[in-house]
Amino acid sequence: NLDQPPEPLHRVSGNNYAPDNANSNRINATILSLVRNEELEGILQSMRDLERTWNHKFNYPWTFFNDVPFTEEFKKATRAMTKAEVRYELIPKEHWEVPSWINRDLFRESADVLKEQDVQYAHMLSYHQMCRWNSGLFYKHPALKDMQYYWRVEPKVHFFCDVDYDVFRFMQDRNKTYGFTITLYDSPPSVTTLWPETLKFLAANAQYQHPNNAMKWLTDKERRPQHNIDANGYSTCHFWSNFEIADMNFWRSSAYEEYFEHLDRAGGFFYERWGDAPVHSIALGLFEDASKIHWFKDIGYQHIPFFNCPNSPKCRGCITGRSYDGDAKLLKEDCRPNWFKYVG
């Protein structure tokens, strides 16, 4: 079964993956993290887990991004967590600043309405900027120009299971575009016009729809939790993008570039609170071959309050099969069964 990971340590031999081996089996890939200086403790936690379970065997470089310069303290502490190369990159102003066509008054008025509908971070402008950057700009950073694959990591996440193969090579060898661990329903008011805008784009660009797309997954109604506001035809099920292992060539394709451009002009990154997760997920579900999207069921993962916790002796620190922490109503947010039903 080609979806199964390769034999343990298949590709780790001798010092092949030593950090300074210029001829190693590493491919063109980096771990990447957008993070604030204030989140140093949180990112050290994430690094500790990922290094322990995976990267100390493969030594892929870490690339940190920030809209302000990293402090010396941040650099020193993160460098000490890994043998691998570490890079610190400033986001160009033109990638981070609010686009000229966004009206600040309208942003604030819209945020008032979103807040009444319990949309988190509605008034936090930087959160909207972050979602937009993660949607359509990160892969345009000059530091990633020659980079193809990335593993996105956030502060304060946990990795529970030993992973003994080079996941980037796995992606390349099996011709995968995107890997996820968790899928969730989104808050409908945060994406009210995302699906209508998507349909407008599709009507004018039908050629971009992949014959083996996941439209049925995107528009499934059956399991959508009760909300008094509808997402206008989108199920809101999305790959939870605080974890992503993906091929940037997909984001660099004309289909995605034009789609992002369309969404950006429509204004919903600011007048609603479109997340990079639903934007990435819809694009993948429409423009990519669904068989190129991979569930990393073997990567034990937590970003509060959700888990992916496999049943395996390689995993420590999470409860097998557990998908959420705390309030049982969170269980209804998990939409993995919906993905399996339509895509397998």
In angstroms, how far is CA 184 from the centroid of its own chain? 12
Among this protein's residues, is 51 annotated catalytic?
A: no
Minimum distance from residue 303 beta carbon to Mn ion (Å): 6
Site string for Mn ion, 141-180 (x = CB under 5 A): -------------x--------------------------
Q: Looking at 29, 31, 39, 271, which residue binds ligand GDP (CB under 6 A)?
A: 39
Residue partners of 72: CB distance under 8 A and separation at least 6: none
Q: Pick what 39 binds: ligand GDP, Mn ion, none; C-beta below 5 to 8 Å, kind-dependent.
A: ligand GDP
Token readout for 203 is 């009507």
Closest CA to 287 of 266, 265, 267, 262: 262
Q: Are 259 and 197 in contact (CB under 8 A)?
A: no
Q: Looking at 67, 85, 230, 258, which residue binds ligand GDP (CB under 6 A)?
A: 67
Q: Looking at 89, 154, 230, 289, which residue binds ligand GDP (CB under 6 A)?
A: 154
Q: Pick what 289 binds: ligand GDP, Mn ion, none; C-beta below 5 to 8 Å, kind-dependent.
A: none
Nearer of residues 67 and 154 to Mn ion, judged by Cβ: 154
Nearer of residues 186 and 298 to ligand GDP, judged by Cβ: 186
Rounded Cα–Cα distance for residues 49 and 301 (Å)? 10
Closest CA to 249 of 149, 333, 342: 149
Minimum distance from residue 242 beta carbon to Mn ion (Å): 5
Asked if 36 is part of the footprint of ligand GDP (rule: CB under 6 A), the reply reads yes
Nearer of residues 35 and 246 to Mn ion, judged by Cβ: 35
Q: Pick what 335 binds: Mn ion, ligand GDP, none; C-beta below 5 to 8 Å, kind-dependent.
A: none
The DSSP H or E segment spanning 33 is: strand 29-34
**17-25, 122-130, 135-143, 175-183 -> range binding ligand GDP (CB under 6 A):** 122-130
Total chain residues near Mn ion (CB under 5 A): 1
Rounded Cα–Cα distance for residues 323 and 342 (Å)? 20
Rounded Cα–Cα distance for residues 243 and 31 (Å)? 11
- On the question of a cis peptide bond just before residue 305, with omega within 30 degrees of 0, the verdict is yes
Q: Looking at 66, 236, 241, 302, which residue binds ligand GDP (CB under 6 A)?
A: 66
Asked if 130 is part of the footprint of ligand GDP (rule: CB under 6 A), the reply reads yes
Q: Looking at 126, 209, 249, 320, which residue binds ligand GDP (CB under 6 A)?
A: 126
Catalytic residue among 51, 244, 272, 288: 244
Asked if 89 is part of the footprint of ligand GDP (rule: CB under 6 A), the reply reads no
Q: CA distances (Å), 288 to each of 48, 218, 238, 243, in order?
A: 33, 13, 15, 19
Closest CA to 29 of 150, 134, 143: 150
Closest CA to 309 of 289, 197, 155, 300: 300
**Binding residues for ligand GDP restricted to 257-286, rule: CB under 6 A:** none
DSSP string of 89-125, one letter each residue: EEPPHHHHSPPTT--HHHHHHHHHHHHHTT-TTTT-H
The neighbouring-strand residues paired with 180 are 295
**Binding residues for ligand GDP restricted to 224-253, rule: CB under 6 A:** 242
Minimum distance from residue 57 beta carbon to ligand GDP (Å): 24
Q: Is the dihedral of CA 247, 164, 276, 209 positive or negative?
A: positive
**123-131, 180-188, 211-219, 306-314 -> range binding ligand GDP (CB under 6 A):** 123-131
Contacts with Mn ion by CB under 5 A lie at 154
Contacts with ligand GDP by CB under 6 A lie at 34-36, 39, 66-67, 126-127, 130, 154-155, 242
Catalytic residue positions?
244
